[in-house]
Structures are given as structure tokens and as C-alpha cells.
Structure 1
């Protein structure tokens, strides 16, 4: 057999395996910690932004609706970067993984921090309210966004701690049905099923008990009471 032909087949099989492997994603489970990555000033992906209160990068927990709170220290580089974002000269590019892990290169959903504010001569006025929204399906994140909501504006300057707050919400699929409501509905339906199952088990037990009692009575009558009655009447005759 031609050696090149064998090599071609081997490469083709390897390619097919890679394609199949790319489809195998490990879903998140409730409570899994999901870290956010953002590009630094040099364009490299790093964990962040770093929240001073938690002393770690901005993170969420899969399926867990919770308040969002993060205090970000503003040095000179960060101040200049935020000023560029507010002036729409650049974007604050971030990303999150769509699954817990995969057997190929990690797959991410792009996400940008949409800041709302106004540059001033010696500081920046930025709103502090931001909502973090996720859409998930069977443990896989299929969409995410972080957007500002009109609230108090903070005076942000070099050396300050820019504090953002808001809500983290999880939705089922591409809808706006809350994930926790979906889980509650499944739980309620399961409880209803179990309650109905208990009801029918009781009914079945009653029917079986009556049927068993009837059979026992018939056997007792046939083999005990009936012969005794026959003997009694024959004796009287």
C-alpha cells in the first residue's frame, strides 16, 4: 500500500477526532466559580479586573443570582485606559469561558465592560451601577453582557477606588425566564409527580388488598366453609 496514502488516512482520522473532541464540552454545575479575563494595557489577556474587597478577579458563580460588588483600584494606566473607553477611542475587552473545560483550546464568549461617564478636566464622572446578565443552556454559557444603569456618578481619579455595584442574573436559554425559576418549575413538577405517584400507590395498595382479601375469602369458603356446610346439612338429613 502507498505510504503517502496511509499517512493521508492517518491525518484524516486525526482531523475527525479533533472535530469530534471540539464538540465535547463539560457543562458548569450550580455554584461553579467563573473568572473573567480582560486585556491589559499591552493587549495581553489577564485575570481581571481585580476587586479589592475580594482580593481576586471579578468572578461569578454559575446559576447563582447575587449582588454585584467590585472595588477597582485606579492607577495612572487604568485612569488613561478608562478615559479612552469613555471617549470611545477604545473598548474594555473581556471574555468568559462558555464551559467548565474542554478537550480542545478553551472557548470564550467575548464581553466588554460598557462604561458610562464623562471625562472632566481633573477627574472622570462614572456611573457605578452595572448589571451582569448570563444566558445558559444545559450548563453551557451561550450569552453574556455587562451594561450600565443610570445611578450615582462617582468622582474617579488617580489613586481612587472605583466601586461598581448591581445585580448578577441568570436566564434559561435565549429567553428571559430566570434560570432559578426554571429549576423551581422542574422541582415543583417533580414534587407534583411524586405526590400524584403517592396517591396512585395508595389506591393500588387498597385495590390489591381488596383483591387479595377476596381471593382468601373465596379459598376459605371453598375449602373450609363450604365442606363444613355440606357435611352439616347431610348429617341433618
Structure 2
């Protein structure tokens, strides 16, 4: 039965993902821990949410809105789980775009390159989609937006740094509160960024030749740990060292006390009484 499950991807004609713009398996320059990740998003018409195109009929991508905290468009750090804020200003265009996003008339679609090569996407490189799913309500005079978001990345296991890339990403509102926004307001996005790493299952084998990272289903574990395994190991080491230090200090005190009592010098009266 297990063998049949592993054959299903081959029977269905599955293929490796993502491919480059030319339909080829990508080669990558891997990310390093903490490296800033480039991200751009689809530029849309505020009237209907349709893509904007350039003179060559290619979809136009623009940076994520600028965060007031950094003065730069929102960017994430590879492999770093953290809580962070990004305050964006709702000018007229962004306000009307968020009307489309919240009403789900158009997705807030961004993309992340799988390789750190310079100008990689401009060369037709492969990328991973990242959609920001904002929820809330649209009113005649304002928007109600849930600005607290979980941002989850899945990456290959850190055991092989040459495979440091991104498998999938998603961002979604996840609180019980909304903030009222009108044109001209600032909105602070509360982002809980978490990186999950895993080894794939249901691999289709070496069907394609050399792959940039292991293929298969990068499923979430039953008990997900929202930190990278390398960070978890570091925490265990720190806890282990701290526990050892406390144990050593406690044991040393007990041993010293017992030693001093056992080998305590005899007083003069005891010596004299023995001589008598």
C-alpha cells in the first residue's frame, strides 16, 4: 500500500515546482541565516483590481508599502522567527486597493525569489507566491481591518545550507480585533513571523535530475514548533548549560560541607585526653 502511495505522483504526471520563466528547473544561490529577503507585489488598478502591464505586456510588480519603522518596504529575514511591526500610511490609492483586498475582489499577491542571485526575477527566475490575506469589513466612510497577522514560511531542513531556499509562504489576519481606517490614516501591522523547516515526504525521486532542494510534500508536523530546529537546539544547549551550572553549584556546596565535617581537626582537649 505504501509503495502505491509513492507511485501516485508519477501516475498523475506531477512535476517539480517552482520552475523558471522558461519552464526549467531552477539553480539557486542559497540564502544565509538572517539575510534580508527581497519581495515585490503585483501592481493593480484601483477601479477593478486588474493587473497593471508594461509595454511588453508583462505584469508590473512594485515594492510592498514602506514601513515607517524602517523607512523601507517590508522585508523578512531568512530563517528568523520574530514578532515585528510595520506601520503603513493609507494614501488614496492604497485605501481603495484595501477595499478590494478586504472584500476579496483581488488578492494582495506578492512573490519571493527562490535564489539570492542579483536581479534573479528580472532574468526570469523561479519564485514562491506570498499572499497577504487581510480580513475585515468595508463601510461607506471607512474600513475595519484586522491588522494582526501570522506570517508562516516553510523551508528545507538546515542540515544542508546549499538548499537554503523557500518552499512556501502565507500571511493571514488572526485576531479578534479590527482597526478603523480612513484615507490618510496610519495602520500598524502586527506581524508574528514564524519559520518552519522539515524534510519532505512522498518524493518523486530523481525524475528531473539535479534539484535545488529536496522534492516532496513539506507537511507540517502534528505538533508544530514555531521556531527553526537550529534555534531550538541552541535553546536546549543554553538550558542544558544553565542546568549544569546550577547542579554543579548545589552539589559543590553539599560536598564541601560534608568534606569539612568529615575531616575537621581535633581540638586540643581531645588530644590531651587521648594522651592521658
TM-score scaled by length of structure 2: 0.56
Residue 75 of structure 1: how far off its partner (Å)? 1.0
Residue 163 of structure 1: how far off its partner (Å)? 1.2
Distance, in Å, in 2 between the alignment partners of 1:52 and 1:71 is 5
Q: Equivalent of 2:42, from 34, 39, 43?
A: 39
Shift in CA distance, 30/101, structure 1 to aligned 2, threshold 3 Å: same
Residue ranges of structure 2 left out of the alignment (5+ in a row): 1-21, 46-51, 53-59, 157-162, 199-217, 238-276
Contact in 2 for aligned 1:35/1:57 (Cα 8 Å): no
Distance, in Å, in 1 between the alignment partners of 2:63 and 2:141 is 29
* Deviation by residue 1:14-34 (Cα, 9 ceiling, x = unmatched): xxxxx9x85421111101000
Q: Equivalent of 1:116, from 129, 135, 143?
A: 135
Residue 151 of structure 1: how far off its partner (Å)? 3.4
Matched, 1:166 2:198: no
Residue 143 of structure 1: how far off its partner (Å)? 0.7
Shift in CA distance, 72/186, structure 1 to aligned 2, threshold 3 Å: closer
Matched, 1:55 2:103: no
Q: Equivalent of 1:27, from 26, 30, 48?
A: 30
Distance, in Å, in 2 between the alignment partners of 1:54 and 1:106 is 28
Distance, in Å, in 2 between the alignment partners of 1:158 and 1:121 is 12
Residue ranges of structure 1 left out of the alignment (5+ in a row): 1-18, 190-237
Moved over 3 A (4+): 175-179, 182-189
After TM superposition, list the pairs within 5 Å mapping 1:7-156 onto structure 2. 22-42=25-45, 43=52, 44-101=60-117, 105-137=124-156, 138-156=163-181
Q: Equivalent of 1:181, from 229, 252, 256?
A: 229
Distance, in Å, in 1 between the alignment partners of 2:231 and 2:102 is 39
Shift in CA distance, 187/82, structure 1 to aligned 2, threshold 3 Å: closer
Larger radius of gyration: 1
TM-score scaled by length of structure 1: 0.65
Name the count of aligned residue pairs: 171
- Whichever structure has more strand as a proportion of its residues is 1
Shift in CA distance, 123/141, structure 1 to aligned 2, threshold 3 Å: same
* Deviation by residue 1:124-150 (Cα, 9 ceiling, x = unmatched): 011110011100113110010001102
Contact in 1 for aligned 2:39/2:112 (Cα 8 Å): yes
C-alpha RMSD of matched pairs (Å): 2.6
* Deviation by residue 1:101-142 (Cα, 9 ceiling, x = unmatched): 287632211121101110112000111100111001131100
Distance, in Å, in 2 between the alignment partners of 1:100 and 1:167 is 24
